């Protein structure tokens, strides 16, 4: 139920226009229209929100101001504070991060006979993977092909993807789905075993596989169960605050910190896989986020400081449909699948103003335009919102569709007294995904020897914008890939003397660049407290 | 100024705005959360919480991230609960009744009190899915338990000491791997890929200039 009189008035218009709106098939925007729209309204084009890096491998490149602050931030330790001669852990493969990429990597490395350990600053599964709702892409149906998938992703990413990585993403996709199925992931299927697939924004074939709208949660909990079955050690509530190298410059471990006791620990490893995920909790440009609590770009910071290049760190994804109301779920993800199964975007006057399945960057920019220059947004306590007309779903597909296909969305709004089967919901773009990140080769290695990376921390797979369903896919494909290569490499690595010399070099370069901020990085967790007069 | 309500975190009194969730209210009060906070949106089960409203004898359960504060609410969080997780090899287990008897025999000690269902933060019929698990009806158990976030509140309330979320996890994996209908088109596509069917097509796309890719992309046919 909505109690705000302006919202109630607007809903009447949405309801009155619903029958006519359902029959519409709004045309797609032309390439030129999209280009102008993005440049005018997409947050990535707000130049004042970006700054040039003064140091490091990407010196001279632009990144969001909040990220620059951390990339050029002050390390939490000095080399003298850590005794590297008595490591607390000594493993073949150290995996940093307990999300989908880290868990996939751990399983494959373990399968390959390696002694593996996962370290994560929260719990295994506290990750954006757990919150991915809509689905995972794979071209596994007749009428579709990996080449078609490549074309959709390459175009949707503005022709900027690293081609060899995208090749691997689409070509290994069906195998990734089978691997998950064989681990016991319950994909939505017809009685004859055919996968139930839908469109996502920017797909030309229906290749979105799902597990209701708990797709990521279903994948993550299964991977976690498998990690636990294999008895792979998971050191939880422990963050990585610095990478360790050996005297030959190869990555050789990490300095860890217990998040509760603050104790410092040393992990020595033959190879390291960075799988720390994204950065939504940095709240670029003041946006709310759909990301989990720990998404603070730690992996970018740690690897950058050790000498790894970033690719496209200036491109972020704002998911077009974050919850705009009520305040308790402001910024929470409303899965794209809501549109895949039939809901349209409708403005305050009840008008359909765009095709609901444009790519995410285009959809987000279009919604921002509708709420700003066009003045067709619905006022909310936090700003403005656009209606996502969910009752259309059951008019099109029959009663019961919402409970069966998007139960998480139904529950999320029901907790706040809104029945999405009968009432539309208000949405506005929310900070969702880090398109860019660490540059890797197709075997998953970064610029630093023996430092691998997988998942959202990687840049280049998707170019400058990512399609729905290609992130759950990339954490599996590239997580497994990194796990296999890092464990194979570990067989031939002999670690030299451990050192934190790169920290001294970083501090020197920092001083030379005239950077004097005392911001500590990595950030580890956001601070939402309202404390006054604390020590 | 927004209306304030009185809440008690672990018995200590704080005044917080009434629009906040329990999690936001803890942060408002000054807690920097490390435990008990994960996705902040009802999917990860990190923030299981128990509360009672003063004057009401009912002990309620919820996720702190998705529940609004109420006046005179006494809150205790349950950021970790020691569930029993049986270790097994998914390749070796079979979806028979015996597997539950071996791995989670305590489910047969269920006394039917329904405390698990009453406690579920997701509103699931937990006792029912345990009944399905007892009978080896894993497909039904999987469906009934599908929305479980494994917060562990059910187990905290269970007199038979059952680890419901782990029982359901096993049932879902058995169902997904062994009982769900097999997908033939997936096997066929993987065989094609392994046979190299798409290599040339993909390499051809990778070799095209951007202008040609733009042409292909902008004019590609979109399946209805």
Is pLDDT at A534 greater than 90 in this prediction? no
Position B221 in a domain: no
Using DSSP's 3-state secondary structure scheme, residue A433 falls into: strand
Which of A369, A254, A257 lies closest to A320 in space, CA to CA? Answer: A369
In this structure, the answer to whether residues B198 and B121 fall within a common structural domain is yes
Q: What is the mean pLDDT of residues B216-223?
A: 96
CATH number at residue B68: 3.10.20.740
Is pLDDT at A212 greater than 70 in this prediction? yes
Angle of CA points A299, A300, A305, to nearest 5°: 100
Q: Does domain A88-315+435-499 have CATH number 3.40.30.10?
A: no
How do A451-453 and A264-274 pair as beta strands?
Answer: parallel
Predicted confidence at residue A107, as pLDDT, reads 98
The residue of chain B with its CA nearest to that of A178 is B186
Give the DSSP H or E segment for B171. Answer: helix B164-174
Q: Tell me what percent of the residues of chain A surpass a pLDDT of 70.
A: 100
In this structure, the answer to whether residues B12 and B66 fall within a common structural domain is yes
pLDDT-based confidence at residue A531 (cuts at 50, 70, 90): confident
A281, A319, A484, A510: which one is catalytic?
A: A319
Predicted confidence at residue A505, as pLDDT, reads 97
Q: What is the mean pLDDT of residues A195-216?
A: 96
Q: What is the mean pLDDT of residues B145-159?
A: 97
Cα A352 from Cα B122, distance rounded (Å): 34
Position B223 in a domain: no
Total Cβ atoms within 10 A of residue A401: 16
Is pLDDT at A133 greater than 70 in this prediction? yes
Cα A447 from Cα A441, distance rounded (Å): 8
Cα B169 from Cα A229, distance rounded (Å): 12
Total Cβ atoms within 10 A of residue B171: 30
- Both tokens of B17, joined, read 């705005």
Phi and psi, residue A433, nearest 5°: -155, 145
Q: Chain A within 8 Å of B88 (Cβ-Cβ)?
A: yes
Total Cβ atoms within 10 A of residue A515: 17
Which of A494, A483, A474, A472 lies closest to A445 in space, CA to CA? Answer: A483
Report long-range pairs for A52-55 (Cβ below 8 Å, ≥24 apart): A54/A513, A54/A514, A54/A515, A55/A509, A55/A510, A55/A512, A55/A513, A55/A515
Is pLDDT at A210 greater than 80 in this prediction? yes
In this structure, the answer to whether residues B206 and B105 fall within a common structural domain is yes
pLDDT-based confidence at residue B1 (cuts at 50, 70, 90): low
Contact call for A123 and B89, based on CB within 8 A = no
Contact call for B202 and A408, based on CB within 8 A = no
In this structure, the answer to whether residues B41 and B100 fall within a common structural domain is no
Dump strand ranges (E) for A236-276: 238-246, 251-258, 264-274
- Both tokens of A499, joined, read 């050192």
pTM of the model: 0.97
Which of A343, A314, A338, A370 lies closest to A468 in space, CA to CA? Answer: A338
Q: What is the mean pLDDT of residues B132-137?
A: 98
Cα A164 from Cα A174, distance rounded (Å): 17
Q: Which CATH architecture has domain A5-41+317-431?
A: Alpha-Beta Complex (3.90)
Q: Chain B within 8 Å of A178 (Cβ-Cβ)?
A: yes
Position B176 in a domain: yes
The residue of chain A with its CA nearest to that of B62 is A415
Q: What are the residue ranges spanned by the domains of chain A?
A: 5-41+317-431, 88-315+435-499
- Both tokens of A349, joined, read 């006057």
**Looking at chain B from residue 29 to 68, which residues have their Cβ under 8 Å from any Cβ of chain A?**
29-35, 37-44, 46, 66-68
The pLDDT tens digits for B157-168 are 999 999 999 999
Contact call for A411 and B122, based on CB within 8 A = yes
Contact call for B42 and A415, based on CB within 8 A = yes
Which of A148, A180, A105, A156 lies closest to A440 in space, CA to CA? Answer: A105
Is pLDDT at A351 greater than 70 in this prediction? yes
Q: Total structural domains in chain B? A: 2
Q: Chain B within 8 Å of A194 (Cβ-Cβ)?
A: yes
Mean pLDDT of all residues in chain B?
97
Give, as one character, the DSSP assignment of residue A284.
G
All residues of chain A having their beta carbon less than 8 Å from the beta carbon of residue B46 are: 122-123, 126
In this structure, the answer to whether residues B69 and B106 fall within a common structural domain is no
Closest-CA distance, A526 to chain B, in angstroms, reads 9
**Looking at chain A from residue 406 to 465, which residues have their Cβ under 8 Å from any Cβ of chain B?**
407-408, 411-412, 415-416
The residue of chain A with its CA nearest to that of B196 is A171
Residue B183 is nearest to which of A164, A193, A332, comparing CB atoms?
A193
Cα A113 from Cα A129, distance rounded (Å): 26
- Both tokens of A193, joined, read 């075993």
Is residue B116 within 8 Å of residue B145, measured between CB atoms?
no
With 0-12 / 13-18 / 19 or more C-beta atoms within 10 angstroms meaning exposed / middle / buried, residue A317 is buried
Contact call for A182 and B177, based on CB within 8 A = yes
Position B219 in a domain: no
Q: Tell me what percent of the residues of chain B surpass a pLDDT of 70.
A: 100
Give the DSSP H or E segment for A427. Answer: strand A425-434
Position B111 in a domain: yes
Is pLDDT at A533 greater than 90 in this prediction? no
The pLDDT tens digits for A279-319 are 999 999 999 999 999 999 999 999 999 999 999 999 999 99
Predicted confidence at residue B2, as pLDDT, reads 79
Cα A368 from Cα A377, distance rounded (Å): 9
In this structure, the answer to whether residues B98 and B201 fall within a common structural domain is yes
Mean pLDDT of all residues in chain A?
97
Which string of DSSP letters, residue by residue, matches A50-102?
Answer: EEE--SSTTTT-EEEHHHHHHHT-EES--GGG--TTS-SEEEEEEEE--SHHH
With 0-12 / 13-18 / 19 or more C-beta atoms within 10 angstroms meaning exposed / middle / buried, residue A283 is middle
Boundary-marking domain end, from B29, B52, B77: B77
In this structure, the answer to whether residues B61 and B85 fall within a common structural domain is no
Boundary-marking domain end, from B77, B93, B110: B77
Boundary-marking domain end, from B41, B56, B77: B77
Closest-CA distance, A253 to chain B, in angstroms, reads 24
Is A305 labeled as catalytic in the residue annotation? no
**Looking at chain B from residue 155 to 214, which residues have their Cβ under 8 Å from any Cβ of chain A?**
169, 172-177, 180-187, 189-190, 193, 198, 201-202, 205-206, 210, 213-214
Residue-range definition of the domain harbouring residue B53: 4-77
A339, A405, A466, A510: which one is catalytic?
A: A339
| HEC letters along A298-362 | HHHHHHHHCCCCEECCCCEEEEEEEECCCHHHCCCECCCHHHHCCCCEECCCCCECCCCCCCHHH
Position B158 in a domain: yes
**Looking at chain B from residue 123 to 162, which residues have their Cβ under 8 Å from any Cβ of chain A?**
123, 142, 146-147, 149-150
In this structure, the answer to whether residues B199 and B123 fall within a common structural domain is yes
All residues of chain A having their beta carbon less than 8 Å from the beta carbon of residue B143 are: none
Residue A123 is nearest to which of B46, B189, B202, comparing CB atoms?
B46
With 0-12 / 13-18 / 19 or more C-beta atoms within 10 angstroms meaning exposed / middle / buried, residue B10 is exposed
Q: What is the mean pLDDT of residues B203-210?
A: 97
Is A523 labeled as catalytic in the residue annotation? no
**Looking at chain A from residue 301 to 360, which residues have their Cβ under 8 Å from any Cβ of chain B?**
327-329, 332-333
In this structure, the answer to whether residues B144 and B64 fall within a common structural domain is no
- Both tokens of B206, joined, read 């990778």
Angle of CA points B158, B161, B167, to nearest 5°: 95
Residue A185 is nearest to which of B176, B182, B201, comparing CB atoms?
B176
SS3 content of chain B, % helix, strand, coil (to 5): 40, 15, 45
Give the DSSP H or E segment for A13. Answer: helix A5-22
- How far from chain centre, in Å, is Cα B147? 6
**Looking at chain A from residue 223 to 252, which residues have their Cβ under 8 Å from any Cβ of chain B?**
225-226, 228-229, 231, 237
Predicted confidence at residue A254, as pLDDT, reads 98
The pLDDT tens digits for A400-430 are 999 999 999 999 999 999 999 999 999 999 9
Q: Tell me what percent of the residues of chain B surpass a pLDDT of 90.
A: 99
pLDDT-based confidence at residue A13 (cuts at 50, 70, 90): very high
Residues constituting chain A: 535
Is residue A37 within 8 Å of residue A365, measured between CB atoms?
yes
Residues contacting A63, CB < 8 A, separation 6+:
A50, A51, A53, A71, A310, A313, A314
How do A310-311 and A345-346 pair as beta strands?
Answer: unpaired
Among B41, B94, B184, B185, most A C-beta atoms within 10 A, so best to mutate, is B41
The residue of chain B with its CA nearest to that of A171 is B193
At which residue do the structure tokens 């937990």 appear? B126
In this structure, the answer to whether residues B86 and B191 fall within a common structural domain is yes
Contact call for A214 and B27, based on CB within 8 A = no
Is pLDDT at A535 greater than 90 in this prediction? no
Predicted confidence at residue A532, as pLDDT, reads 73
């Amino acid at each position: 139920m909505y109690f705000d009189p302006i919202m109630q008035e607007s809903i009447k218009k949405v309801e009155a226009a619903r029958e006519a709106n359902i029959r519409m098939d709004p045309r797609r925007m032309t390439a030129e229209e999209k280009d102008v729209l993005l440049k005018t309204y997409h947050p990535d084009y707000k130049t004042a929100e970006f700054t040039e890096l003064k140091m490091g491998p990407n010196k001279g490149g632009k990144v969001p101001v909040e990220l620059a602050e951390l990339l050029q931030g002050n390390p939490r330790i000095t080399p003298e504070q850590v005794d590297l001669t008595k490591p607390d852990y000594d493993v073949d493969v150290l995996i940093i991060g307990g999300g989908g990429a880290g868990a996939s990597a751990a399983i494959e490395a373990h399968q390959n006979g390696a002694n593996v350990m996962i370290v994560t600053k929260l719990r295994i599964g506290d990750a954006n993977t757990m919150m991915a709702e809509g689905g995972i892409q794979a071209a596994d149906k007749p009428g579709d092909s990996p080449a078609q998938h490549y074309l959709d992703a390459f175009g949707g990413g503005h022709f900027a993807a690293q081609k060899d990585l995208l090749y691997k993403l689409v070509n290994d996709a069906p195998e990734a789905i089978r691997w998950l199925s064989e681990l016991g992931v319950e994909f939505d299927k017809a009685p004859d075993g055919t996968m139930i697939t839908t469109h996502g924004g920017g797909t030309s074939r229906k290749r979105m596989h799902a597990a209701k709208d708990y797709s990521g949660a279903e994948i993550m909990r299964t991977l976690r169960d498998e990690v636990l079955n294999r008895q792979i050690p998971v050191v939880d509530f422990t963050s990585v605050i610095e990478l360790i190298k050996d005297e030959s410059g190869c990555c050789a471990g990490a300095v860890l910190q217990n998040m509760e006791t603050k104790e410092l620990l040393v992990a020595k490893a033959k190879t390291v896989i960075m799988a720390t995920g994204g950065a939504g909790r940095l709240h670029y440009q003041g946006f709310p986020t759909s990301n989990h609590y720990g998404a603070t770009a730690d992996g970018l910071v740690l690897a950058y400081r050790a000498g790894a290049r970033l690719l496209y760190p200036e491109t972020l994804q704002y998911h077009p449909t974050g919850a705009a109301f009520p305040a308790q779920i402001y910024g929470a993800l409303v899965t794209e699948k809501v549109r895949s199964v039939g809901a349209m975007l409708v403005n305050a006057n009840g008008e359909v103003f765009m095709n609901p399945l444009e790519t995410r960057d285009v959809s987000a920019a279009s919604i921002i335009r509708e709420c700003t220059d066009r003045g067709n947004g619905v006022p909310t306590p936090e700003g403005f919102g656009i209606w996502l007309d969910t009752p259309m779903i059951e008019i099109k597909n029959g009663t019961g569709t919402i409970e069966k296909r998007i139960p998480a969305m139904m529950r999320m709004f029901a907790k706040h007294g809104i029945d999405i089967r009968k009432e539309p919901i208000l949405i506005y773009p929310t900070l969702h995904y880090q398109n860019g990140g660490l540059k890797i080769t197709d075997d998953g290695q970064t610029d630093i020897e023996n430092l691998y990376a997988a998942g959202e921390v990687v840049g280049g797979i998707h170019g400058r914008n990512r399609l729905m369903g290609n992130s759950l896919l990339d954490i599996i494909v590239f997580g497994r890939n990194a796990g296999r290569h890092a464990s194979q490499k570990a067989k031939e690595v002999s670690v030299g003397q451990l050192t934190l010399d790169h920290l001294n070099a970083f501090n020197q370069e920092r001083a030379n660049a005239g950077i004097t901020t005392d911001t500590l990085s990595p950030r580890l967790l956001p601070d939402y407290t309202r404390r006054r007069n604390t020590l | 100024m927004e209306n304030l309500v009185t809440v008690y975190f672990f018995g200590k009194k704080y005044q917080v705005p009434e629009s906040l969730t329990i999690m936001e209210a803890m942060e408002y009060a000054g807690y920097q959360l490390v435990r008990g906070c994960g996705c902040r949106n009802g999917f990860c089960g990190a923030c299981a919480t128990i509360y009672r409203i003063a004057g009401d004898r009912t002990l309620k359960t919820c996720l702190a991230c998705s529940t609004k504060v109420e006046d005179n609410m006494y809150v205790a969080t349950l950021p970790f609960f020691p569930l029993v997780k049986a270790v097994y090899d998914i390749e070796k287990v079979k979806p028979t009744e015996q597997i539950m008897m071996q791995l989670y025999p305590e489910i047969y000690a269920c006394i039917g009190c329904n405390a698990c269902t009453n406690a579920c933060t997701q509103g699931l019929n937990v006792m029912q899915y345990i009944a399905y698990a007892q009978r080896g009806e894993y497909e039904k158990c999987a469906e009934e338990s599908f929305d479980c976030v494994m917060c562990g509140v059910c187990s905290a309330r269970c007199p038979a000491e059952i680890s419901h979320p782990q029982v359901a996890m096993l049932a879902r994996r058995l169902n997904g791997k062994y009982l769900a209908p097999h997908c033939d088109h997936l096997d066929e596509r993987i065989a094609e890929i392994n046979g190299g069917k798409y290599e040339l097509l993909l390499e051809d796309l990778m070799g095209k200039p951007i202008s040609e890719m733009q042409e292909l992309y902008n004019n590609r046919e979109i399946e209805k």
